[in-house]
Amino acid sequence: MARQTRLFALTSLAAVALGATACQPAAEAPAAEAGGSDTTHTIIETREVAVPPVVIERPSPDIVIERAPPAGDTTTVRAGQNGIEVETTNR
């Protein structure tokens, strides 16, 4: 029992030490030499480049805008109690 208590105390102490170390701020960077600059500069350069347009040719599908239904075919749509009801007759 005493051995388990010591082991628990040791691991608890190690966890506290690790947490305290992790919460400390990082060390300061060394001082820059006299006359030198301790900052860095990033230069971003943007240019506009003329690019010819890309043309993709593909066949267009036939589009049917209107067609007369065959004689005798009917479709009836009505609102019912359970939603929309559709009745189609094909002859």
pLDDT band at 39 (very low <50, low <70, confident <90, very high): confident
Banded model confidence at residue 30, pLDDT cuts 50, 70, 90? low
Judge contact between 65 and 59, C-beta under 8 A: no
- 82 band by pLDDT with thresholds 50, 70 and 90: confident
Q: Which of 68, 69, 74, 72 is CA-nearest to residue 87?
A: 74
Mean pLDDT, range 31-39, rounded to an integer: 57
pLDDT mean over 54-65? 75
